[in-house]
Structure 1
Amino acid sequence: MSAGEVFHEKQRLELCAIHALNNVLQERVFTKETADDICKRLAPQCVVNPHRSMLGTGNYDVNVIMAALQSRDLAAVWWDKRRSVQSLHLDKVHGFILNVPSRVSLGIVSLPLRRRHWLAVRQVGGNYYNLDSKLKGPTCIGGETELRTFLGEQLSQDVTEMLLVVQREVEEDGTWLNTEEAKK
């Protein structure tokens, strides 16, 4: 499968969480409206919702991502960075959502500020792709070896976090972790 056949939403407003969800699912499932509805369910009594930007432009937090995945019978498993990515049982992982530092820019001017940004990584047609919504298109990472290298490099940054997107039963039985590899 070519990169042209890989579903990839591009960045709009502060909707990277929605783009990461849709990119990891490989279809447009979630919208700003569905994410806002999730926010309201998570904090029904709040005038200013703590799960999104006060300006209403997005910037959704991890709780919205987790609730969205649960609505699709999926789960988000927080990755403990003290573990090696070699201990991942990749055939049990549907995809990855990473939270990374990102430069802030106004048009073509890059500001000396950093914000948080959600991006997705997913296997499609035998290759893993970086589906960051800030990229012009999907970027092929390669096979399992290249994926583990990519994830290791991303996680080496102090502030990067990773969620494994797995089926609920995989989350419950913990089979996303290769226990033999984890013991090494």
Structure 2
Amino acid sequence: MEAVFHEKQEGSLCAQHCLNSLLQGAYFNPVDLSSLALSLDEAERIRMAECGEESDEYQRFLRQPSGNMDDSGFFSVQVISSALEVWGLELVPFSSADERVTSVFSNPCKMQAFICNYKEHWFTIRKLGNQWFNLNSLLNKPQLISDTYLALFLAQLKNDGYSIFVIFGVLPDCDADHLLKLKPAIQINSDIQEQDDTHLQEALQQSLHESKDCEEHELIKAIQMSMQSNTEEDDDVLLRKAIHMSLDC
């Protein structure tokens, strides 16, 4: 998977790593993102000043630190969104009522990328070629994700409190996309599959714990049993039903 662009974590620059992994190139650096953050701060200051520069609200705003960046290298969702707008890309919350997003629940594989956030950490999940990759900067290398596991992985992240965003627009052309269509990647590290199976079980257990409907309860139990079977087609049907319930919770 050498062709896949993947920045490893440096300081608290996960927003930079997230964006560059999504775009598959070193397109943004801390200076670029700081400039965007300062522009957002200034736009907010101008809006606040409309209430009167002598007002308590305006004076309180001036005393507050920036909500778009800090000294550690953290950048807000507004900065991420502004950076993507430069490329004609749109960041839409997974929980949005936007019709483009509601259809993602049942089949996230038809999308091209997701950005996830939890406790100030950002990372990208993106399709390259015909395969999905977890491009989290905390990983030593990109992690290959199967189509079926992608939906369950997103459900698990949602249960864990992550904010998930869907990317809309045309992503820039990249070598990895072309190369992986010709020669799909193979995950060498067998530990990944073992870890994935554990995560699958955890996501299903969470769904089972939260489910109050008897029919859903029994369905998820059946799915857990199906994970040990060899009937791949039936498994996929059951898994997708569980995924839909998990994402709608």
Give the TM-score normalised by structure 1: 0.73
> Does the CA contact (< 8 Å) of 1:20 and 1:120 recur in 2?
yes
Matched residues in 2 for 1:165 and 1:126: separation? 17
Q: 2:74 and 2:107 mapped to 1: Cα distance?
A: 29
Q: Which residue of 2 aligns with 1:95?
A: 113
Q: Partner residue of 2:215?
A: none
Larger strand percent: 1
Equivalent of residue 153 in structure 1, options 151, 156, 160: 156
In 2, distance between residues paired with 1:140 and 1:89? 16
Question: Contact between 1:85 and 1:151, CA under 8 Å: does it hold in 2?
Answer: no
CA distance in 1, matches of 2:169, 2:129: 19
Contact 2:108 2:150 in 1 (8 A): no
Structure that is richer in helix per residue = 2
Q: State whether structure 2 residue 58 is matched by structure 1 residue 58.
A: no
Tell me by how many angstroms 1:125 deviates. 2.1
The equivalent residue for 1:166 is 168
Whether the 8 Å CA contact 2:108–2:151 is kept in 1: the answer is no
For 2:69 and 2:120, the matched residues in 1 are separated by 13
Which of 33, 36, 39 is matched with 1:38 structurally?
36
**Distance apart, 1:147 and its partner CA:** 1.1
Please give the alpha-carbon distance, in whole angstroms, between the structure 2 residues aligned to 1:85 and 1:148.
10
Give the superposition deviation at 1:94: 2.9
Q: Deviations over 1:59-84 (max 9, x none)?
A: 11100000001110000000118968
Contact 1:81 1:155 in 2 (8 A): no
Give ranges in structure 1 of 5+ residues lacking alignment: 101-114, 169-180
Q: 1:89 offset after TM fit, Å?
A: 5.6
Question: SS in structure 2 opposite 1:43?
Answer: helix
The 1-side partners of 2:120 and 2:132 are apart by 23
Gaps of 5+ in 2: 46-61, 171-243
Name the structure 2 match of 1:177.
Answer: none
**Which is bigger in relative contact order (C-alpha 8 A, separation at least 6)?**
1
Q: Quickly say closer, same or farther: Cα 1:117–1:43, change in 2 above 3 A.
A: same
Q: Does residue 22 of structure 1 match 2:40?
A: no
Following the alignment from structure 2 to structure 1, what is the Cα–Cα distance between the partners of residues 37 and 159? 31
> In 1, Cα distance between the equivalents of 2:33 and 2:82?
9
* Percent sequence identity over aligned pairs: 30
Does the aligned pair in 2 maintain the 1:85–1:148 contact within 8 Å?
no
Taking the aligned partners of 1:4 and 1:148, their CA distance within structure 2 comes to: 25
Q: Name which one, 1 or 2, has greater alpha-carbon Rg.
A: 2
Q: Provide closer, same or farther for how the CA distance between residues 51 and 153 of structure 1 changes in structure 2, counting only shifts above 3 A.
A: same
Aligned length: 150
